Structure 1
Amino acid sequence: MDIEDLTLEEKCENLMTAVVETRKRFGQKCVDYQHKTARVENQLLQLRLESFSNYECKRKNPLPDLGIDDVALNIEDIKAEIMEKQIRIENLCKRLNNTQEVLLQLKNDNIAKKMHQPVTIESLMARAKEKQQKPMC
């Protein structure tokens, strides 16, 4: 079959399959290229990390030599400070609970309710009438 004998549709179809095949090959090559570049970048990063980790830093000012006794004393001081703060927090929690209990008692206290009621002649008269109207059992 000659190219001239093919119809226009067949020519287009052949061209489209060629385009699809080249796109597939090009896409696969792009994916392979990205994988290879990612691998090379990871290897470069590993080399940099190894070179940084192998490099010895020379300090301008040497670190002071702390004796073991100083460190032990500092740790004991820190422990004592933590214990003091813990005791203070526990005391504050106890005081808070006591305050809450006192507030609940005040809220339920009848005398406190009466103290908040207005003291006028009208209110006293109204309360006295209410007491008289209630039957005593």
Structure 2
Amino acid sequence: MEVEEMTLEDKCEHLMNIVVESRKRFGKMCIDYEQKTSLVENKMLNLQIETISNYRFKSKTTVPCIDFDEMEKDLDEFKDALISNQKRIDELKRNLSNTENVVMQLKLDAVGQKLKKPLTAEAMLADAKKKIKS
């Protein structure tokens, strides 16, 4: 059958078959292309990772050599300073406690209260009048 003798429906069917076949063929080619590009991309990434992991980086600044004996000496000095400061704090707490006790004793001391009052004759008379009234 030639193209001229075909009916319109046959022509449409023939064209649809061509479209379907080309889609199948190009679809397979696209899938193959995607798989191949993914494989190549993975190989490139693995190569980059391997290259980076094998590369030896040089630091911009050199790391200073640490003298452990000197560091241990510094730590011991720091520890001694902390201990002496802690002793001073404990001593200050004890002195504060003793001072508070002395202040409390002075507040409760009757003789001390009498010494705080003025020793003038007028004050003594006013104090005697208060005692007589009460």
Calculate the TM-score normalised by the size of structure 2. Answer: 0.49
